[in-house]
Amino acid sequence: MAKNLVIVESPAKAKTIEGFLGKEFLVKSSFGHVMDLSKKNLGVDIENDFVPNYEISTEKKKVVTELKKLASEAEVIWLASDEDREGEAISWHLTNALKLDEAKTKRIVFHEITKNAIQNAIENPRSIDKNLVDAQQARRVLDRLVGFELSPLLWKKVKPALSAGRVQSVAVRLIVEREEEIKNFKTESNFRVTALFNIQNAKGRSKLSAEVPTRFKSKEEALEFIRKCKEAGFSVKSVETKPAKKSPAAPFTTSTLQQEASRKLGYSVANTMRVAQQLYESGKITYMRTDSVNLSNLAMGMAQDEITSLYGENYVQTRKYKTKAKGAQEAHEAIRPTYLNNRDIDGDASQKKLYELIWKRTIASQMSDAILEKTNVTIDVSTAKKDFFAKGEIVKFDGFLKVYMESKDDENADEMAGVLPPVKNGDILNRLEIRGEERFTQHPPRYTEASLVRKMEELGIGRPSTYAPTISTIQKREYVIKEDRDGVNRKYHCIILKDEEIKDELKTEKTGFEKSKLFPTDIGTLVNKFLIQYFDNILDYNFTASVEKEFDEIAGGKKVWNEMIREFYGPFHNQIEDTLEKAKKFSGEKLLGVDPVSGKNIFVKIGRYGPLAQMGETDTDDKPKFAGLKKGQSIETVTLEEVLELFKFPRQVGAYEEEEMTVAIGRFGPYVLHKKKFYSLGKEDDPVDITPERAVEIIEEKRKKEVENTIKEFEQDVKVLKGRFGPYISIKKKNFKIPKDVNPEELTLEECLKIAEDPKNTPKKRYVRKKK
């Protein structure tokens, strides 16, 4: 029996550490928090100093039982959860849940998983820092109070099953406000004049491209300048060179890994985390949920060796990076390969790609600066005051650029200047072509998942472990949708001077194309408007920062946690009560126009099931007619014509097999109804003008699929079917799983009925959210 029980948060970490500690130590994991506020109710006793009602989380009962048993058998229990607010609380909850004897219990912390660090920790135990625990309790209780009082208010005033919280509501706000900025953005155009020159000097003949650094406000101004260029002579007025350097980016944190994997590999935030988890579990990288840019001395040594052997000593420049993130807790190392001499790994393609990215970023972070030389050439135009400029950049020493270059969100923000041909003062240039192109100002970019994470980190909102879940929550609640949008064609003017001729052309370019961007939905916009109107203090971008400051004071022993909560809750709860009383139902109703046939008003608004159109008033005797908006339509942009189309459903499209086919638009999109069965229309089908032939085709397609998915069919209501999770038995629309040792091909009717009777094969009545 082991004398010592060490408890860490993650099982992968437990495995590693056990190797360092030897036989006397058993290392186990708590799998994160084991206790949390009661899920059934508020979980906080408002009347009684906000005493939290903690429960052992249902999914943690098993591990708690096991740890309790092991703890009772051990002589010393070492609580080795992370050294941050949450980690301290985990240790404290463990002492309570496992009923640990204080005399036998020691709290230890380490920042890196090395033998030295861990042995050092064992030699320097401490006790649980109750102030830090209290800071966590304040954080937890505040989030619960905000979430569980705001959400029910939304159910009453806006729509059921909505949610609000300190983090998610601000994330939605960012996206809604960015969309407003874009809507209000006035595009302006100006003219950019560029030139291509021929240059002949002692060093030979070459080409040089240059541009006028200031833009021309109008076509006339650009044209006037280009006319002058037609008669002008061009010569080099000055050549300036100056040294410059570039430094590598810091090693990855969760947030920067998500951003780079998104830009360079096109991964979603959730995908990045899934793949990183796999790499972590197989021991290939260090922990992937971290806000630290710090590398251990061990890692820096490994990097130094690897860089020396691959590129030579002059490429090594070890560096310690400092975090810039607000509220960083730095309980872990930066994300890096466990062994830096492994340049590639075994694994699937996505693991290999992500690993390579992490390897490059880590190695580059310990490499020399790149030494550059920047050159600016000014070209005089003999007939005009304005000059042309050419910018060049040469790499004198590549340094870290040999391995890795961080990418940017805005691809054309910083165009890499190329290499310039050799030029000197007084060189004469011959113009080949001069162009004046109309350019447009651009609205601020929409957020991607990854750029939203970066913004949240900048505001100190959310933690590495919650970035991905938060982004998924706001999409699940349908506050925000991630999608592509087609661009539109835009005409622009282009003036070209070639030889002695000036041409004015009208060209076309595609603009506004969006790929995997976050757009607010009608519901997101409405909920945000409601929250801003009544709870601007909670939605304030600085709310988290200001409560964090108070949590720090609690952690420092300068404040008592439930007094802080009391000061917050009093006014907050009054706000809730006030809003409950004063705010009317918030539906975002908008009068769109009048139905030309009936003369009734047509409104659009948010209903119980989402955006809808309404014909007629609700407060008259005549019942109004309703129609849900189609997917992709929005209250903001839908037109009267489009809404009138919606009221044409359900419509008959003809008969098939002597029964009517009806097309309508339901909760899950347009469908054909035939013999009481539903057939969803395809993406390319337009329900307005679908032909009877196409409707029949859709019906037949689905029937064919059903046949393909049927393994066996007994009586009409007893079937063995192929599903998403393998074969199953369907009896009168109820589904039953097939035991593993049964071959579904060989099932008989009696066996099926018998399986259906066995209670362990019946589907669990688990609550499943209807929203995807």
Catalytic residue IDs = 287
Distance CA(662)–CA(695), nearest Å, equals 9
Considering only residues 607, 616, 654, 692, which one is a binding residue for DNA as defined by CB under 7 A? 607
Residue from the set 4, 25, 28, 33 that interacts with DNA by CB under 7 A: 33
Name, in order, each residue with C-beta under 8 angstroms of 292's C-beta and a sequence gap of 6 or more. 253, 323, 328, 330, 331, 332, 333, 334
Q: In the range 268-327, which residues lie near DNA by CB under 7 A?
A: 277, 280-281, 287, 289
Using CB under 7 A, which residues numbered 431 to 470 contact DNA?
A: 461-466, 469-470
Among the candidate windows 96-104, 185-193, 605-613, 711-719, which touches DNA by CB under 7 A? Answer: 605-613
Q: Which CB atom, from 144 or from 559, has the smaller least distance to DNA?
A: 144
Cβ atoms < 10 Å from Cβ of 233: 13
Q: Any residues with CB less than 8 A from the CB of 725 and at least 6 apart, and which?
A: none
CB of 520 to DNA, least distance (A): 17
Does residue 475 belong to the site contacting DNA (CB under 7 A)? no
The reply to whether omega before 444 is within 30° of 0 (cis) is no
Residue 197 or 671 with smaller CB distance to DNA: 671
- Nearest distance, CB of residue 156 and DNA, angstroms: 8
Nearer to DNA, 399 or 687 (CB): 687
Q: Which listed range, 229-237, 419-427, 480-488, 664-672, lies at the site for DNA (CB under 7 A)? A: 664-672
Number of residues lying near DNA (CB under 7 A) = 91
The correct pick among 2, 11, 235, 375 for binding DNA (CB under 7 A) is 11
What distance in Å separates the CA atoms of residue 364 and residue 315, rounded to the nearest whole number?
A: 9
768 interacts with DNA by CB under 7 A: yes
Q: How far is the CB of 566 from DNA (least distance, A)?
A: 18
Report in angstroms how near the CB of residue 461 gets to DNA at its nearest: 7
Q: Does 741 bind DNA (CB under 7 A)?
A: no
Alpha-carbon span 251 to 358, nearest angstrom: 8
Does residue 764 belong to the site contacting DNA (CB under 7 A)? yes
Assess 41 for contact with DNA (CB under 7 A).
yes
Count other Cβ atoms within 10 Å, centred on residue 85. Answer: 25
Residue number, 392 or 628, with CB nearest to DNA: 628
Q: Which of 86/438 has CB closer to DNA?
A: 86
Rg of the chain on CA atoms, in Å: 33
Q: Which residues pair with 225 in a beta bridge?
A: none
For residue 252, the SS3 value is: strand
Touching DNA, residues 408-427 (CB under 7 A)? none
d(CA 454, CA 470): 13
The DSSP bridge partners found for residue 18 are none
Question: Rounded to whole angstroms, how far apart are CA atoms 533 and 457?
Answer: 25
Q: Using CB under 7 A, pick the residue from 339, 492, 626, 714 that binds DNA.
A: 626
Shortest separation between residue 34's beta carbon and DNA, angstroms = 8
Considering beta carbons, is residue 277 or 350 the nearer one to DNA?
A: 277
- Give the residue from 597, 218, 600 showing the smallest Cα distance to 438: 218
Of 77, 547, 627, 638, the residue at the interface with DNA (CB under 7 A) is: 627
SS3 644: helix
Residue keyed to tokens 């100002």? 441
Q: How far is the CB of 206 from DNA (least distance, A)?
A: 56
Q: Is the distance from CB of 136 to CB of 122 less than 8 angstroms?
A: no
Secondary structure letter of residue 126 according to DSSP? B
Spell out the residues 6+ positions from residue 647 whose beta carbon is closer than 8 angstroms to its own.
595, 613, 615, 625, 627
**Contact stretch for DNA (CB under 7 A) within 226-234, 298-306, 553-561, 732-740:** 732-740
The residues in 90-129 that bind DNA, with binding defined as CB under 7 A, are 90
- Check binding of 740 to DNA (CB under 7 A): no
Task: For the CB of residue 591, give the shortest distance to DNA in the complex, in Å.
Answer: 16
Q: Which is nearer to DNA, 503 or 771 (CB)?
A: 771
Identify which range of 105-113, 335-343, 549-557, 620-628 contacts DNA by CB under 7 A.
620-628
- Residue 584: is it exposed, middle or buried by C-beta count within 10 angstroms (0-12/13-18/19+)? exposed
**Which string of x and - marks every residue 541-560 that binds DNA (by CB under 7 A)?**
--------------------
Of the pair 160, 512, the CB lying nearest DNA is at: 160
Asked if 32 interacts with DNA (CB under 7 A), we say: yes
- Note whether 612 binds DNA by CB under 7 A: yes
For residue 82, CA distances in Å to 15, 29, 140, 541 come to: 16, 12, 17, 28
Please select the residue that binds DNA; options are 85, 360, 435, 454, rule is CB under 7 A. 85
Is 719 a residue that touches DNA (CB under 7 A)?
no
| Type of residue at 351 | Q
User: For DNA, what does the binding mask look like between residues 129 and 168, x meaning CB under 7 A?
Assistant: -----------x--xx-xxx--xx--x----xxxxxxxxx
C-beta of 91 vs 296, nearer to DNA: 91
Closer to DNA by CB, 287 or 311: give it. Answer: 287
Q: Is beta strand 44-45 parallel, antiparallel or unpaired with respect to 189-201?
A: unpaired
Q: Least separation, in Å, of the C-beta of 573 and DNA? A: 14
> Which DSSP string do the residues of 161-192 spell out, in sequence order?
T----TTHHHHHHHHHHHHHHHHH----EEEE
Question: Residue 526: phi, psi to the nearest 5?
Answer: -70, -45
Alpha-carbon span 152 to 131, nearest angstrom: 32
Of the pair 81, 366, the CB lying nearest DNA is at 81
x/- track of binding to DNA for residues 318-357 (CB under 7 A) = -----------x----------------------------
Q: How far is the CB of 463 from DNA (least distance, A)?
A: 3
Regarding 9 and contact with DNA (CB under 7 A), the answer is yes
Applying the rule CB under 7 A, the residues between 676 and 695 that interact with DNA are 678, 680
Q: Decide: residue 312, CB within 10 A, 0-12 exposed, 13-18 middle, 19+ buried.
A: exposed
Going by C-alpha positions, the residue among 256, 8, 212 that lies closest to residue 109 is 8
CB count in 10 Å sphere of residue 632: 10
Q: Which is nearer to DNA, 332 or 402 (CB)?
A: 332
How far apart CA 109 and CA 80 sit, in angstroms, is: 6
- Least distance (Å) from DNA to the CB of residue 756? 13
Q: Which of 131, 209, 575, 735 binds DNA (CB under 7 A)?
A: 735
- To DNA, the closest distance from the beta carbon of 650 in angstroms equals 8
Tell which phi-psi region holds residue 174, choosing left (phi > 0), alpha (psi between -120 and 50) or beta: alpha
AA letter at 282: S
- Which segment (85-93, 112-120, 190-198, 684-692) binds DNA by CB under 7 A? 85-93
- 392: contact with DNA by CB under 7 A: no
H or E element at residue 229: helix 219-231
Under the binding rule (CB under 7 A), the answer on residue 56 touching DNA is no
Question: What's 654's DSSP letter?
Answer: E
Closest CA to 211 of 378, 333, 57: 378
Closest CA to 695 of 739, 727, 741, 663: 663
User: Which CB atom, from 177 or from 369, has the smaller least distance to DNA?
Assistant: 177
Calculate the alpha carbon distances from 749 to 703, 717, 723 in Å. Answer: 23, 11, 19
Q: Provide the mask over 226-265, with x wherever binding to DNA is found by CB under 7 A and - wherever it is not.
A: ----------------------------------------
Choices 6-14, 124-132, 194-202, 362-370 (CB under 7 A): range interacting with DNA:
6-14
Q: Does 671 contact DNA by CB under 7 A?
A: yes
Nearest to 81 by CA among 12, 44, 159, 29: 29
- For residue 573, give both structure tokens: 């709860």
Nearest-approach distance from CB 707 to DNA, in angstroms: 17
Residue in the structure block whose two tokens are 């009347």:
47
